[in-house]
Structure 1
Amino acid sequence: MARRLAEELPAVRLCPDEWLTELGIDLFDEEARDLLERQLWRHALELLALGTSVILEYGFWGRVERDEKRLGARTLGVPVELRYLDVPMEELCRRVEERSAAGGRGTVAITEAMMAGYAALFQAPDADELSLFDTCDRNGGR
């Protein structure tokens, strides 16, 4: 979805998984990921200030992280959309397995056990939080 939106809008898409892969860094290196995501966020703010649309292809697992990005972008006076896709765990596992089989940039093997652990950490946005974002004018989520 992020790739499609980047072409349609157009927008600059920033995906930490792809950057880590291109730099030869383990996708599970939390310290490197944190440093990279902070740098990509600074870059995103620079692009937004120049009037360029940006897509952050991050996990946005927690409300605090989503609030930080939303409020940071709003200080620049730009609208902020959240594309949240509520997908059942079985479908997520199927998609990850399919993506892993196909290979490609930023692809690593993720087990069902790993997916279950990630799901336990994820804080899904509720209706109140979703109302804080601008409404998407295209199909594919909010």
Structure 2
Amino acid sequence: MHRRATLVLLCGLPASGKTTLARRLAAELPAVRLCADEWLTDLGADLFDAGLRARLERRFWRLAQDLLGQGRSVILESGFWRRADRDEKRAGARALGAAVELRFLDVPLDELARRLEVRNAEAPWATAVIPPALLESHAPLFEPPSPAELALFDPPAC
């Protein structure tokens, strides 16, 4: 059976499990997985360089549109903290005839802090070291999707 191209947006705060889920979905769908943290780390770039991250995310979106237009599924791991970003990607992918899934990883702040401590201690070289205090100060900027917004997306294929 031929599957419709799908854009999967992974929405959640740091340490919510986006990369773990993305790796599983990439194999199951199959899909191309685009993760700015991994690219920036591999390039030896500063993960907190907002300008560089924004340019990379724009490039990922152009690549995702090309792939979706070719019938390929794509996973974007940006976190999608803002509703406006999620709306933009949903509209753009739908204009290409793709299905669009939003996977919201809703993890309590205390659990995220615990996971970050473990991740920071086990593999500080693999990703950005994010102190729990930074997570707590930035968490209020996150706009979690409401049930009404979640209903605007396609149900998960797997």
Range class of TM-score, shorter chain:
over 0.9
Q: Which has the higher contact order (CA 8 A, sep 6+)?
A: 2
Which residue is 2:99 aligned to?
79
Segments of 5+ residues of structure 2 without an aligned counterpart are: 1-20
Question: Aligned to 2:117, which of 75, 97, 111?
Answer: 97
**What is the distance in 2 between the residues matched to 1:8 and 1:104?**
29
Which residue is 1:40 aligned to?
60
TM-score between both structures, scaled by the size of structure 2? 0.83
1:22 aligns with 2:42: yes
How far apart are 1:101 and its partner, in Å?
A: 2.3
How far apart are 1:106 and its partner, in Å?
A: 4.7
| 4+ residue runs over 3 A deviation | none
How far apart are 1:46 and its partner, in Å?
A: 0.4
Q: How does 1:97-136 map to 2 (within 5 A)?
A: 97-103=117-123, 106-136=126-156
Q: Name the SS for the 1:83 alignment partner.
A: strand
TM-score between both structures, scaled by the size of structure 1? 0.92
Deviations 1:79-124, CA, capped at 9 Å, x for gaps: 0000001110011111122222221775121111110122110000
Q: Which has the higher strand share?
A: 2
**What is the distance in 2 between the residues matched to 1:117 and 1:48?**
36
Segments of 5+ residues of structure 1 without an aligned counterpart are: none
